[in-house]
Structure 1
Amino acid sequence: MNLILWRHAEAEDQASSDLVRQLTPRGRKQAQGIAKWLKSRIDDDAAFLASPATRTIQTAEAFGDRYRVVDALAPGNDAQAVLDAAGWPDGVAETVVVIGHQPTLGRVASLLMTGHETEWSIKKAGVWWFQGRTRGGDGHVVLRAVINPDLL
């Protein structure tokens, strides 16, 4: 399984509630850049799971309309909720792209890399791509890529 953690792009600082904050013009450009990078690297049958927050939905829409909103990815949920929503390590699809929030995505990355949940930072619109595989009966996690929008 491939698990791609995609933090939402830059959003406005204030709105009537946290869930309705929208992407800024810079955020829309970031999302489009990352979407272009992903499109050339993932299969057409990848599953996209987005938090119910407007900024994550707008980030997902940069890739197209193939996303599904999942309440378990809302701000404030824990790392295990993200892994459960994605079906890790077997996956709800061969490739699952999770569009979510900090600090949760950073905690997922640390859990996958070290086995412990700690505070790791993922930049806005950043992507961390993990691959789970089995060798000799043991499960392994491979970090395939880390990309930030300012590197594109």
Structure 2
Amino acid sequence: MDLILWRHAHAAPGMPDSERPLTKKGRQQAEKMAAWIKPLLPKEVRILASPFRRAQETVQALGMAFETVDSLAQGRSPQSILTSVNWPAGAGTVMVVGHNPALGQIAALLLANTEEEWPMKKGGIWWFTHDEETQQAVLVAAMSPGLL
């Protein structure tokens, strides 16, 4: 199984938190990342997004079908997110568009087996695969909009 974590792009401040839209910078970040990742995605990728507006607007830059999943909303635990995507037992590739600190915590769990809050750039993507032979997560790629 492959797991792609995509943190939402830069959003405007405001309340309620769930309704914060992307800024102009955020829209540019999302478009850059979508242009980079889209040609690399397998045909059968499953794309899941938080219901929060900033995550929805980020994933829309891909121009691909996606599912809105309440369990990906801000404040969810890393383990609940991993369970909802069936990591590592699932098949194929799953992309999760969501929020920190949960996405950074997932990366820490997968790579270091620790419950730390690793920073993740807004609009950034971390791509993991599960190595069947070693039963470990392997980082395939990490990209941020500033590097594109």
The residue matched to 2:40 in structure 1 has which SS?
coil
Which residue of 2 is the match for residue 6 of structure 1?
A: 6
Q: In the TM superposition, what is the alpha-carbon distance from 1:101 to its structure 2 partner?
A: 0.4
TM-score of the superposed pair, with normalisation by structure 2: 0.96
Q: Distance in 2 between matches of 1:4 and 1:75?
A: 17
- Counterpart of 2:93, as a letter, is T
Q: 2:93 aligns with which of 92, 95, 103?
A: 95
Aligned to 1:127: 125
Secondary structure of 1:40's counterpart equals helix
Match of 1:84 in 2: 83
Measured on the aligned residues, the alpha-carbon RMSD in Å equals: 1.0
Q: Give the CA deviation at 1:65.
A: 4.0
Give the C-alpha shift of residue 40 in structure 1.
1.4
Alignment TM-score, normalising by the size of structure 1: 0.94
Counterpart in 2 of 1:139? 135
Q: Could you tell me which amino acid in structure 2 is paired with residue 71 of structure 1?
A: D
Please state how far the C-alpha of 1:42 moved relative to its aligned partner: 1.1
CA drift of 1:130 comes to 0.4
Q: Aligned partner of 2:138: which letter? A: V
Q: Does 1:64 align with 2:63?
A: yes
5+ residue gaps, structure 1: none
**Which amino acid in the other structure matches residue 147 of structure 2?**
L
1:145 counterpart letter in structure 2: A
Specify the alignment match of 2:25 in structure 1.
26
Secondary structure (helix, strand or coil) at the match of 1:146 reads strand
Aligned pair count reads 148
Helix, strand or coil at the partner of 1:102: coil
- d(CA) in 2 for partners of 1:148 and 1:65? 20
Q: Percent identity?
A: 44
Matched letter for residue 45 of structure 2? A
Cα distance between partner residues in 2 of 1:51 and 1:42: 19
- For 1:66 and 1:105, locate their aligned partners in 2 and report how far apart those are by CA, in whole Å: 21
Between stretches 40-49 and 102-111, larger displacement belongs to 40-49
Q: CA deviation at 1:13?
A: 1.0
Equivalent AA in structure 2 for residue 5 of structure 1: L
CA separation in 1, counterparts of 2:63 and 2:57?
Answer: 10
Aligned equivalents of 1:65, 1:130: Cα separation in 2: 21
Gaps of at least 5 residues in structure 2 are: none
Moved over 4 A (4+): none
Identify which of 101, 105, 108 aligns with 2:106: 108
